[in-house]
Amino acid sequence: MTATAQTIATPAVTERRQSGRWLTALLLAPSAVWFFVLLILPLAVVLVYSVGVRAPAGGYQAAFTLDNYLNLPARWAAFKNTLTLAPLGTLICLLAGYPLAYFLAVKSSARWRVMLLILVIVPFWTSFLIRTYAWIFILGGRGIPALLDAMGMGDVRLINTPFSVMCGIVYAYLPLMVFPIYVSLEKLDKRLLEASEDLGAGPFATFRQITLPLSAPGIITGCMLVFILLMGEYLIPQMLGGGKVFFIGNALVDLFLQSLNWPYGSAVAMALVIIMLVTVSLYLRATAATGGRRDASLI
Amino acid sequence: MLRAYSALVYLFLYGPIALIVLFSFNSGLSAADFQGFSLRWYARVAGNSLMLDALRTSLTVAFSSAALATIMGTMAALALQRVKGPVRVIFDGLTYIAIMVPGIVIGIATLIALVTTFDAANAVLAEIWPTDTPPQLHMGYGSIIAAHTLFSMALVVVIVRARIAGMDRSLIEASMDLYADPWATFRQVTLPQLAPAILAGFLLCFTFSFDDFVIAFFVAGPLNTLPIYVFSSIRRGVTPEINAIGTAIMMFSLVMLFGAQLLLRRKSVQGKT
């Protein structure tokens, strides 16, 4: 209620506060149930299953063993691919996205700015599947290779390579990188840039000493958002990697839907969540250090 | 130079989409084979009953999960502005986890938790049911809608709470000073101010659910949603028909997205009652 409710505690006010508490509990109840049944419970089941053993016919059999965790290196290739391609994809998104964010925030005319910004965000909210499919179409047999062939360039293979996976990654996640950097650059006081110039700093020195440090919160947010989503990626390597370039997500689908090894799959899932939690907490510490605020909202 | 680079990035972002749209109207079979404008692939899509079934399933799931998530998320957001301490910390943490944990982990976790629960429940039902044909719990609409609602609800909580934080408190106080009871204040002052955020939340949830592949892939059971259908057709081989479906899906998402954007950018809505 309002602050006045705390100053005078007449019986009527006490009663209202009492009913307010009931109302709050009632309002929170449905979401609390949902969080419990569809988030906490399933994650707890994964945790329990991860120390179990595979039933002979597939699925889970109760046990307590750490073998699944000790066996994680058996899927080393998936972890290695994820832990190299996810940071690399994040880095490429940053390098490709920063100049665009800078252009939008500092150089573009105010008249076009909002329109241009919306144009960056729109692809992020349109069908992920179709946008990834677009690259199968472009890089696959009937796309660029067919065009090259028609031009007499011979047999070129582009799909199902780390290159095609990287195309899909940058294409899918670039908007997510540009937006937070734009937000932090937009807040930058343009007079600082003029002051730096007046004091004789060249464009590069100004960028390194003023623009870059002040946009650090946006860079950190953008990198973390992209990195976190990439860690759990399944569709892009599945569609553009053709079984040759696979992530932890692809290993999980294989373990749960093909080999029906739920306990081992649960251990892999736990490992993925733990790697992400560690990354997120490092990120929180890093943001605290730069004194930045999180600007994660995409809308 | 920066301008030219930015133009290139926009080309990169929209080129592939434009190609899909362009070739959905191609009467030929491949990219190297542009034979002129035709609607034949759209005609083929319109007569594809498997695709239409998947579309119907997706629309049902998206609408139900978005409605549930919007109602429950808004309720939670309203309550959370009034609570402090551990309850709030726990809810913040859960919202954060629901958004952060990868979809694939949510999908898998929900799958094994529900399968385990259903197996146990079906055994009990078979035991206690008076007739020989006890009802069987299985994956389907319920499980997809429930799983989508989880993520969507967290999204609505974040959006509506941001709106509440930016809301003009003085109007609420004025309403109280004018002796409106809390319910009247809520209905005539708070709700109209929150309406754009709530509607935008609904549209974003709808878009998320309509677009989601990875969660539905695990918990859909025998059902096909549109992304699952598209995924399996791509697996069977790239045909121009997929370009037509893709173009239609993108147009639909665009309409939903612009609706959400317009609503979020409107500063306030005049209460008409």
- Comparing alpha-carbon positions, the chain B residue that sits nearest to A263 is B112
Residue B178 lies in a domain: yes
The ipTM value here is 0.87
Q: Residue A140's pLDDT band (boundaries 50, 70, 90)?
A: confident
Q: How far apart are CA A170 and CA A98, in angstroms?
A: 13
A32/A79 same-domain check: no
> Alpha-carbon distance B17 to B210, whole Å?
18
pLDDT band at A159 (very low <50, low <70, confident <90, very high): confident
Q: Which one of A46, A146, A265 has the shortest CB-CB distance to B32?
A: A146
Whether residue A58 is contained in a domain is answered as no
pLDDT at B41: 87
Confidence of residue A287 (pLDDT cuts 50, 70, 90): low
Residues B203 and B247 in one domain: yes
Q: Which domain holds residue A272?
A: 75-290
CA A124 – CA A93 distance, rounded (Å): 14
Cβ-defined contact of A118 to B106 (cutoff 8 Å): no
Out of B12, B82, B108, whose CB is closest to A252?
A: B108
Tell me which residue in B105, B111, B249 faces A232 most closely, judged by beta carbons: B105
Neighboring chain A residues of B176 at a CB cutoff of 8 Å: 2
Whether A108 is covered by a domain: the verdict is yes
> Which residues of B fall within a CB distance of 8 Å from A30?
71-72, 75-76
Q: What's the mean pLDDT in B227-252?
A: 88
pLDDT band at A93 (very low <50, low <70, confident <90, very high): very high
* Closest residue of chain A to B3, computed from CA coordinates: A103
Q: What's the average model confidence in pLDDT over A230-256?
A: 92
pLDDT of residue A19: 77
Query: Residue A11 has what pLDDT?
Result: 66
pLDDT in tens, B54-87: 999 999 999 999 999 999 999 999 999 888 889 9
Mean pLDDT for all residues in chain B: 88
Task: CATH number of the domain at A157, please.
Answer: 1.10.3720.10
Per-residue confidence (pLDDT) for residue A274, from 0 to 100: 92
Full domain range(s) for residue B91: 50-265
Is B270 inside a domain boundary? no
Same domain, B14 and B146: no
Residues from chain B contacting residue A37 (CB–CB below 8 Å) = 146
Do B1 and B78 fall within a single domain?
Answer: no
Residue A60, in any domain of the structure: no
pLDDT at residue B237 is higher than 50? yes
* Structural domains of chain B, count: 2
CB distance from B165 to chain A under 8 Å? no
Say whether both B16 and B58 belong to one domain: no
Check A35 against B80: CB less than 8 A apart.
no
Q: Are residues A42 and A139 in the same domain?
A: no
Q: State residue A289's pLDDT score.
A: 63
**Among A4-18, A235-249, B72-86, where is mean pLDDT lowest?**
A4-18
Residue A55 lies in a domain: no
The answer as to whether A252 is a domain residue is yes
With contact defined as beta carbons under 8 Å apart, do B253 and B211 qualify?
Answer: yes
pLDDT over threshold 90, residue B188: no
| Per-residue model confidence as pLDDT tens digits over A191-237 | 888 888 889 888 888 888 888 888 888 898 899 889 889 999 999 99
A34 within some domain: yes
Are A38 and A102 in a shared domain?
no
Note whether A269 contacts B211, CB cutoff 8 Å. no
Do B32 and B137 lie in one domain? The reply is: no
Considering the domain architecture, whether residues B6 and B100 belong to the same structural domain is answered as no
In this structure, is residue A241 part of a structural domain?
yes
Which pLDDT score is estimated for A297? 44
Residues B136, B19 within the same domain: no
Q: Which of residues 178-217 of B touch A (CB under 8 A)?
A: 182, 200, 204, 207, 211, 213-214, 217
Using the beta-carbon criterion (under 8 Å), do B72 and A40 form an inter-chain contact? Answer: no
Q: In the prediction, which pLDDT does A9 show?
A: 54
Count of structural domains, chain A: 2
* Shared domain check, B121 and B6: no
Cβ-Cβ contacts under 8 Å, B231 against chain A: 129, 235
B91 to chain A, any CB pair closer than 8 A? The answer is yes
Q: Please answer yes or no on whether B6 and A127 come within 8 Å at the CB atom.
A: no
A178 and A43 in a common domain: no
Q: Are residues A215 and A159 both part of a single domain?
A: yes
| Domain assignment present for A96 | yes
B3 contact A CB<8A: yes
Other C-beta atoms within 10 Å of A69: how many?
14
Are B153 and B202 found together in one domain?
yes
Q: Is residue B218 part of a domain?
A: yes
Q: Look up residue B39 and give its amino acid.
A: L
**Residue for token pair 């930016």:** B166
| pLDDT band, very low/low/confident/very high, at A61 (cuts 50, 70, 90) | confident
Distance from CA of B270 to the nearest CA of A (A): 22
The single-letter DSSP state of residue A75 is G
- Tell me what the mean pLDDT of segment A131-152 comes to: 83
| Min Cα separation A90/chain B (Å) | 16
Query: What's the rounded Cα separation, in Å, for the pair A232 and A252?
Result: 10
Q: Which of A42-51, A113-122, A275-284 has the lowest mean pLDDT?
A: A275-284
Q: How far apart are CA B219 and CA B105, in angstroms?
A: 12
Mean pLDDT, rounded, for A142-148: 78
Strand A60-61 to A53-54 pairing: antiparallel
Evaluate if residue B153 carries a pLDDT over 60. yes
pLDDT for the residue numbered B231: 94
CA–CA gap between residue B70 and residue B199 (Å, rounded): 8
The mean pLDDT value for A100-112 works out to 90
Minimum CA–CA partner of A29 in chain B = B76
CA distance B33 to B135: 54
Mean pLDDT of all residues belonging to chain A: 86
SS3 call for B81:
coil
